[in-house]
Amino acid sequence: MSYAAGRLIHDADSHLMEMTDCLDPYFEARLLERYHALPVYQAKHSHAHWMNKERARHEDAAYRAAAGDAILLKKNYEALGSFRREDRPAVMDRLGFASQLVFTTFCLGNFGLDQSGDMELCYAAADAHNRMMTDFCSVDRRLLPVAYVPLEDFQRAKQTARLAIQLGAKAIMVPSLCPQKHAPSHIGLDPVWRAAEEAGLPILLHVGGEEKLNPVYKENGLPPVPDFHGGDDNFTSVSYMPIPNAAMQTLSTLIFDGVFDRFPNLKWGAIELGASWVPGWMRSMDSAAHAFGRNEERLQKLSAKPSEIVRRQFRAAPYPHEDAGWIIRNSGDEVCLFSSDYPHVEGGRNPLKRFDETLAGCTPTQVERFYSENFIDLMGEGLARDLRRPGLKATG
């Protein structure tokens, strides 16, 4: 029996664990040398010998079988299907999820190129990433590739979005960090939102593209605090706190400046950014709209209260350690999504158990919306009709 045990579950967050050379076959050849010179590439390449050992280990059928039997116990590069695409269908069979959004790990943040002056390389890296993701996920229709579109250059952003859709992306990820020279709500980006809306695909924010903690906060005169990997590159309790800050600001700006209203059929999601912040953020926006509504014409033009616009068009995936039931009761039945974060450590060894415990006080409808219906609504045409409720009679 699969992990889902026959339940209808759609997974809003999973990942690849890419090798150093993951983008090389997809990168524009004349720019490959510039890409290889990036510090983040060099840092990854320093582990190439260890990664080659992982490659060899996953070539062994006995190892793959053991990893499949321990589907949620093996994590990161040890996990089945973490980098070999031919193994990923077996992962879906073992997990039993109806579909799964697939994000990068190595390319999150686009190597810092969005904040650089090299827009040619910035968009070339995004295009290479999008080719890689759609190619990896082509092995199984249940795998839904997430493309990335930098928002720095209006014309290039439009072209990258269109190419991603043409390649077969099922969702488009954009950074929550504000572009260098204009707001994320700038009308010059409307062609990006229009392309996604016309294709019926959602726009997603994901951890990795946010504003990072000021490192001075770590200078407390005490020994360094290790993260849960044992190093200091990932999140600790202090660096965890600002994760949703940029997402809240970016999404608020998009709502207040009318982007959600200009594209009323476009859905938005916040993935692996947590969701405990969502209820207070909704109420803060309502308060801002009330306080400044008399003076700001943009607020007077909104189609509804900001919190109502959120329920209409926005979805968020709580972390498994958050109280999903509390979030649902305080934000609305429409907002929350299940995610496993496979094969990352952060997803834990039994996300269904942890979420079920916090959903104990919810109604059956609320639980169903959390595990499947809100995801179906978010994905639109990015999720084929026969995948929405497999085994059930199609509705609509």
Whose structure tokens read 């903690």? Answer: 213
Note whether residue 53 is domain-resident: yes
Sheet holding 143-148, edge to edge: 10-15, 99-103, 143-148, 171-173, 203-206, 268-271, 314-316
Note whether residue 110 is domain-resident: yes
Note whether residue 243 is domain-resident: yes
Q: Is 145 exposed, middle or buried (0-12, 13-18, 19+ CB in 10 A)?
A: buried
Note whether residue 204 is domain-resident: yes
CA atoms within 13 Å, Cβ hemisphere of 116: 15
pLDDT computed for residue 233 by the predictor: 59
- The C-alpha atoms of residue 99 and residue 78 are separated, in whole angstroms, by 22
Closest listed residue to residue 346, CA positions, set 322, 381, 365, 376: 322
Note whether residue 315 is domain-resident: yes
CATH of the domain at 250: 3.20.20.140
Note whether residue 3 is domain-resident: no
| Total tally of structural domains belonging to the chain | 1
pLDDT computed for residue 391 by the predictor: 74
CB atoms within 10 A of CB 212: 12
Note whether residue 262 is domain-resident: yes
**pLDDT, one tens digit for every residue, the chain (396 residues):** 999 999 999 999 999 999 999 999 999 999 999 999 999 899 888 888 899 999 999 999 999 999 999 999 999 999 999 999 999 999 999 999 999 999 999 999 999 999 999 999 999 999 999 999 999 999 999 999 999 999 999 999 999 999 999 999 999 999 999 999 999 999 999 999 999 999 999 999 999 988 888 888 888 998 888 765 554 556 788 888 889 999 999 999 999 999 999 999 999 999 999 999 999 999 999 999 999 999 999 999 999 999 999 999 999 999 999 999 999 999 999 999 999 999 999 999 999 999 999 999 999 999 999 999 999 999 999 999 999 999 754 333
Note whether residue 201 is domain-resident: yes
**Residues spanned by the domain of 254:** 10-388
Closest listed residue to residue 309, CA positions, set 362, 253, 365: 253
pLDDT computed for residue 47 by the predictor: 85
